[in-house]
Amino acid sequence: MNSSRSDIQSIMAMAAAMFLLLITSGLAGSGLASAADEAEIDKILAGVEKRYNVTGFTADFDQESILKAMAVTDTASGRLMIRQPGKMRWEYLVPEPQTIITDGNDLWVYRPEENQVLVGKAPALFGEGKGAGFLSNIKMVRESFQISLMPDAAPGRYRLKLVPNRSTVDLMEIQLDLDRKTFDLIEIATFNVYGDETRIRLSKIDFSAPPEEALFRFEVPQGAEVLQMNP
């Protein structure tokens, strides 16, 4: 990828957003929301929770990362696999092969063209809503965010604005676009304190065959360079 650091942060932003969605439990709606909005938000979250109350799912993704200060936009695409709780596998195919795997505790980033593996801890890098980690635990959304309904959604979609209860430099806001009929997650947008944004668009979401447990562990190839990843 054009910027390995940017790509890893982008994935973490995406994984956190989805992670949050898969963990919903107690609505933490915005204090400024009207009673009607709060009822609508509750209905939407209940639909999402029901839709994603599954062992796991797969999807294709397209990713766009915009670094405002550098006026740089990186794009990537690949395949996503999720298994609850906390397990994710991002297989980047374009522009370069790269795989990011977590079993909910350990994290591996494998770059086959460089024969390199970065290793770290998932909670440090995907916690607090970073990295779209909510995808692997949707129930987290209600507990960890102030949620409001945005009026500018595209036709046929809901758009939710999620502001973390504890904002960080890496994560100031998440926007989720959802299908009004199916409650499928269509797009995740994350924003940091610098105005950088990452957009992940999901397609071909498949709930019929949960990914196998073995896909969320990684054996370092013999001879590969291993580097420790700091949060």
Residue 80 confidence class, pLDDT cut points 50, 70, 90: very high
> Which residues in the chain belong to E strands, given as ranges?
23-24, 56-67, 72-83, 87-94, 98-102, 106-111, 116-121, 138-139, 145-149, 157-164, 173-179, 185-191, 197-206, 225-228
Q: What does the block give as tokens for 110?
A: 């494998």
The sign of the dihedral angle between the CA atoms of 44, 45, 48, 49 is negative
Predicted confidence at residue 123, as pLDDT, reads 67
Instruction: Identify residue 34 by its one-letter amino acid code.
Output: S
Cα 77 from Cα 79, distance rounded (Å) = 7
Q: Does domain 4-74+127-204 sit in CATH 2.50.20?
A: yes
Mean pLDDT of 172-190: 93
Q: What is the pLDDT of residues 68-78, one digit of tens each?
A: 888 889 999 99
Residue 111 confidence class, pLDDT cut points 50, 70, 90: very high
Predicted confidence at residue 32, as pLDDT, reads 46
Q: Please give the model's pTM, rounded to 2 decimal places.
A: 0.80
Q: Does residue 59 contact residue 206 with C-beta atoms inside 8 Å? A: yes
Question: Residues 33, 38, 41, 42: what is their CA dihedral angle, to the nearest 10 degrees?
Answer: 150
Q: Does residue 1 contact residue 99 with C-beta atoms inside 8 Å? A: no
* pLDDT above 70 (res 44): yes
* pLDDT above 90 (res 92): yes
Please provide the average confidence, as pLDDT, over all residues in the chain.
80
Q: What does the block give as tokens for 91?
A: 């297989």
